[in-house]
Structures are given as structure tokens and as C-alpha cells.
Amino acid sequence: MASVAFIGLGNMGGPMAANLIKAGHQVKVFDLNPAAVEALMAQGAGSGACAQEIAKDADVVVSMLPAGKHVRGLYLGTESAKGLIDVVKAGCLLIDCSTIDAASARTVAEAAAANGLEFIDAPVSGGTAGAAAGTLTFICGGTDKAFEAAKVVLSNMGANIFHAGGPGAGQVAKICNNMLLSVLMVGTSEALSLGIDHGLDPKVLSDIMKVSSGGNWTLEKYNPCPGVMENVPSSKGYQGGFMVDLMVKDLGLSQEAALGSQSSTPMGALARSLYVSHARGGNGKLDFSSIFEHFAKGE
């Protein structure tokens, strides 16, 4: 069992840290939200006054933060705080599970390597339910050595662990996946809305499409039409799950990456435009499957 410093206890990070505690690791946590820290302490975690304090003696650091600037600040330092790469002990493994731009991940990995440390970008897929159940998918970028070491800890939080390539590769694979997911969700939503507008029962239509050539993950696991599937956000007022604002962020990353490589992503660009419009309509905190309402209500 490892000594783990876990930084970032939001909707995803909190349950992930809890699973490390359940697995028997010695976990110390830090977050700017005191309530999030207290919730993990009640489950057996230690804490500290800052990220640097809990990380200095850790075998492994795991971070789950909102954006690239936060990850760079944590590991590389800011005007007011040292970066973790200058604080942790020799041999400490650095794992960032945030979804950020690949350039930031590569920058941190290069700085860590210059200090003799291994850094791996390991963004996740599986949502809050997967985080709680410990069934997340980790999409990793880093050296072979870092990946093998990271699997020991990641296996306590997820069911599928992939090595996509070198530093930054995990981030590229993650944004490709989420871009495709957004396109599938938009297409499924407009197809269901078309059927409803012509008097079809959305559950019957979903059952037909699931086993036909239009079948996809959103129909099988995450139907966007309220009342069709139990225990998904669409049947809970679009609460929980993966927020529209986060999908907008990921689609922005996908389009930045497309510009950098001169890749053609017209469907991804259209999906981003639709989700931005949906967010501006006051839906940013709803689950991303709420894009169904964009079509169902004729917005």
C-alpha cells in the first residue's frame, strides 16, 4: 500500500480518493473546499494546510483539477507557492487525472523529468457513477515505467487502464473520445425528437435503434429522453452526471487540438457550437444529455 497525496476533491476526485482509502492506502487530501476535505477525513483520510504539505512525503501524488492552468500551477509553482516537482521526495510518482490540454501535460512531464520524476497524464472516463463505483477508465500518457507504476494505484479507482502513448497522449485520446460522445448525444437527441414529433413512443424507438445500425452508447447506457431509461440523468431532471459546462470545456480542447494539427473536425465544431448555445441558455450545470431539450423544445 502506498502513501498517497490526493489534490482536488470535486464530484470526481472525492469518490476517487475514497476508493483509495477503502483499498488500504494511506491517503492525505487537500482541496480549497473545507467541506470536501472533512468528508474524506470522516472516511479515514489525513489532511494538511496546503498541497505542498501533504505531498512532501508521499509515494504518489494524484491530482484532479479543473484546467491546465491549475495543473501547471500545482506542479510547476506560482508566485506564491512552490511547485510540487520541487517539493516531493525522490521517486515520487505524479499522476494527474484532470482533463486538460495536451501541451500543459507535456510541459509538466518535461519539467518533472528534468527533476528526475515520473509524471503521467491519466484523464478519466466514466462519470461520477464510475468514480463512486471504482469502475472508471483511465487513459494514460507517459513513459512505460510511469504507466506500470501508476497501474497499482489506478486499479483501485478504475476497471480499465489504457496506455495511449507518451506524455500528453492520454489527453489527446480523452478529447477524441469526448468529441465523439458529444456528436453521438446530439445525433441521438435529434433522432429521438424527430420520432416523437411524428407520434412514436421514444422507448420503442430507442429499443429499435439500439439493435439497428444506429445503435450507440447513448442509447444503450445514457438515453437523453426523460422516462425512457431509469437511473440516468435524463430521468432525474438532468441532475448529476457530466455537466454541459464540462462538455463545452472538452469540446473547446478538441477544437484547439484540431487547429494545432490542422485536422478536419466539422462534426466536433458543430457539437461545440450547439453545447455553447445550450450552456448560454442557462443549462451549464445540467447533465450534457440535456441537449435533448434543445431539440425537443424547438430552441
pLDDT (tens digit, 9 = 90+) per residue, 246-285? 999 999 999 999 999 999 999 999 999 999 999 999 999 9
Taking residues 39-62, what's their average pLDDT? Answer: 97
Exposure of 106 in the CB half-sphere (CA atoms within 13 A): 9
Three-state secondary-structure class, residue 256 = helix
Cα Rg of the chain, angstroms: 20
Active site residue 285: no
pTM: 0.91
What is the spatial distance between Cα 185 and Cα 217, in angstroms, rounded to a whole number?
9
Q: What's the DSSP call for residue 282?
A: I
Residue 111: pLDDT band with limits 50, 70, 90: very high
pLDDT on residue 1: 82
Taking residues 4-20, what's their average pLDDT? Answer: 96
Of the candidates 26, 8, 275, 272, the residue with the CA atom closest to the CA atom of residue 131: 8
pLDDT in tens, 148-169: 999 999 999 999 999 999 999 9
Q: What is the helix, strand, coil percentage profile of the chain, to 5?
A: 55, 15, 35
Average of per-residue pLDDT values in the chain: 96
Annotated active-site residue in 89, 174, 203, 221: 174
pLDDT on residue 299: 47
